[in-house]
Amino acid sequence: MPEMTYLEAIRSALQYEMRQDERVFIIGEDIGVYGGAFGATFGMLEEFGPERIRETPISEAGIMGAATGAALVGMRPVAELMFMDFVLLALDQLANQAGKARFMFGGKATVPLVVRMPGGSGSGAAAQHSQSLESILMHFPGIKVVNPSTAYDAKGLLLSAIRDPNPVVFVEHKLLYKTKGEVPEEEYTIPIGLADIKREGRDITVVANNIMVKKTLAVAEELAEEGIEVEVVDLRTMRPLDVGTITSSVKKTGRLLVVHEACQTGGWAGEIMAIVSAHDAFNYLDAPMRRLAGADVPIPYNRLLERAAVPQEEDIAREIRAIMSNKY
């Protein structure tokens, strides 16, 4: 199986679907000659032409409105937003129009729309270009939220997202673009709504997404030398959540830590903990559940401050040790 970067896997999925289905097109800023803000669409203008690689003015509301309208009349648009932060400019079209149209038309209309957006900190892009806004997007009924952590998952989930009849927000962490993994060249899909246990363990469950999965896996290898076996649950899909995988893991290990980069207040870690609290998995807990999240501050530009604002490997290790030793 060939190795690809996370970014190459995304481009591979886009190219495959565009070659198979003429209804698929990409719309966004600088996606043609420039090849996208991070290079995801590099070279695609030459293959597919300007009709299917649609350059737009600098207007996220306009991009989302055009993509929503195209989806409603039978096309399968993939809208690219340069940074996740800019989805806030498009929320009326995405949440109030695309997300509600199928419901309001009694299922007679579909909105097969994918919105790709790079999120997260770590690149020195500062407060307006480094946010993790999954929790906001999870709040809106009618929208699916996908958040892959590996190149393999990125390709399989993007193919599923493009084929889905509902709006799908596809979040890509900027620091994952250069990471590599084995990715089949042929077609394969991963079901939306299915979490993945990236590492089996017996002592504690850590639920995480995107870059925090990678960090947690590194910590798990370190802690294994101390005799602590960490089970790492990669959500992959933020909405719908795979409640079964989460609660089964908690029942197995008896301990839970939820890790995400987004600010703690209103973050999705609270949703995971609420689900476990309302489930019989709560009765299996041997220690209080804990969450580790970003600080409630805008992401700083300064690299040291930026690093301090979001969980790092040493923070994850510290929280796991505290739970295991019942010291909080």
* Residues identified as active-site: 60, 129
Helix, strand, coil fractions of the chain, as percent rounded to 5: 40, 20, 40
Buried b (16+ CB within 10 A) or exposed e, 177-199: bebebebeeeeeebebbebbebb
310 neighbors 121 (Cβ within 8 angstroms):
yes
Output DSSP code: residue 298: P
Number of CB atoms found within 10 A of residue 213's CB: 28
Task: Give the span between the Cα atoms of 172 and 153, in whole angstroms.
Answer: 11
Closest listed residue to residue 232, CA positions, set 240, 241, 252: 252
Number of CB atoms found within 10 A of residue 49's CB: 11
Which residues, in sequence order, are CB contacts of 300 under 8 Å at separation 6+? 126, 127, 306, 309
